[in-house]
Chain A
């Protein structure tokens, strides 16, 4: 964005904000209509929180959703109705939004709570993985408590268990690109369905903001 003069940058942010709130007028509906007014996602539909994710990550996903490389029947027509410039502007804009609190599912539609054994397994796989099968801990790339690291490793903390499970399954089935170094495609093959359910439940219960997680050096 540094190459744009301030007025043009503001106009672009304006148009990205408009797409988020109202859609682009030629096929792409408002982002908020599914991702919620603060783009916090929706645990019932397995719709992810996108506010505050890195611009690089959002753009890579929008591009992959538009091309069909990341297979998603709902997002394919949406993303492909956005121009490349609109996808870039949206990614830049959405990355600047404040990280909202996770949306709680309505009691009647909430998934059954994870068992203590599941949470224990999830916590262990998150922090340490299982190196007897070459599986690193998720936190080793996604940061303490899954807060996300840099542009390439998105936050897992506070995403819904349904969304996380769906994505891990998608990597297993090859319907989502493997990401940097094809890492996720390789690692998910070493995870059982029980592992996937456990880490999804664990991260869904973690606070999404970095301030609430991690350890500082004294």
Chain B
């Protein structure tokens, strides 16, 4: 859901860190085609069936495989997964939790038109985008068993949910504009106080017992520049509702905005749609107040030093 922003930045590189001032300095009408955000209240939210209700038949096997792929993506879909993340990192509790872009809400919302690629996407095509951008990998072909398994799991989670109807808890909450424009330096302080204990002072997460326990938030093992989490508003909504893990909705909106800008203000793998020019790629795909791509932070033009998109799927070599 790339915003169809009405603001055209005169020169992307002229916008500096501490930014988003364009967005916050004037009242912008966000593209009217976007559905209204779900209410933050969890009361009355849809409840997916418990894992114990998974059927014990061939369909149930596919549902279980989908859940395993969702929870340990690098282990169960290594051919399509290019970084150290798993689906469940951004869709808490294996896609069950409301306001954490739950899988059941996504399932009943497709097929849908997406401004990101300007056509109607099926649910499988939507998940291809997750692999290409958020997983910094390769899109599994439509009908591939990885997509069939994930679709089966999502379909099963959505048991009893209304189709093609706005459903509470979908996506991440849309936060109101903060009192002050999001700020990198303030975000850095929030990060040190609230996030670093798990994600590390360097944001690279932590591993233990052969597993990635806390995910890297930027750098070559994180999501690439084309991922939705790279939009500061989406990241702020995710952080507000879900972070620190187990302490969701404890940060102020301002802190969530600030730390989201800080996290998204770091270098990460290149946008797979990179044209060869950061400025041109920004114009084509990041012409949004919410993207830090192509902006200069701490003297570095973000996107300029990105490692190529695709991560470990590029060489085809097994990683770690």
Contacts and interface: CB of A to CB of B under 8 A. Distances in A.
Interface of A: 128-129, 131-132, 134-136, 139-141, 143-145, 147-150, 152, 180-181, 183, 186-187, 210, 213-218
A145 B248 CA distance: 24
17 contacts: A131-B92, A134-B248, A135-B246, A139-B213, A140-B245, A143-B208, A143-B211, A143-B213, A144-B209, A144-B211, A149-B206, A181-B244, A181-B247, A186-B247, A210-B208, A213-B210, A215-B75
A181 B214 CA distance: 16
A149 B245 CA distance: 15
Chain A to chain B: the 10 pairs with minimum beta-carbon distance, closest first: A214-B209, A143-B208, A214-B210, A147-B209, A216-B210, A144-B209, A131-B93, A149-B208, A180-B197, A136-B246
Given A150-B206, A186-B247, A131 B97 contact: yes
A186 B249 CA distance: 13
B295 interface: no
A214 B211 CA distance: 6
Interface string B232-269: 00000000000011111000000000000000000000
B208 A150 contact: yes
Given A128-B94, A149-B213, 5 more contacts: A140-B213, A147-B209, A215-B211, A217-B74, A218-B318
A22 B245 CA distance: 42
A148 to B, nearest CB: 7
B177 interface: no
A7 B208 CA distance: 33
B96 A131 contact: yes
A187 B47 CA distance: 22
Contacts, number: 80
B66 interface: no
A183 B214 CA distance: 16
Nearest to B193: A181
A187 B246 contact: yes
B320 interface: yes
A5 to B, nearest CB: 28
A148 B208 CA distance: 7
Nearest to A181: B244
A141 B213 CA distance: 7
A145 B97 CA distance: 23
A131 B318 CA distance: 34
B197 A152 contact: yes
Contacts of B200: 150
A187 B244 CA distance: 12
Contacts of A218: 75, 78, 318
Nearest to A137: B93
A137 to B, nearest CB: 9
A216 B320 contact: yes
A186 B246 contact: yes
User: Which of B78, B214, B318 has the most A CB atoms < 10 Å from its CB?
Assistant: B214
Nearest to A213: B209
A134 B246 contact: yes
Contacts of A129: 93
Contacts of B245: 136, 140-141
A183 B72 CA distance: 25
A135 B197 CA distance: 18
B76 to A, nearest CB: 9
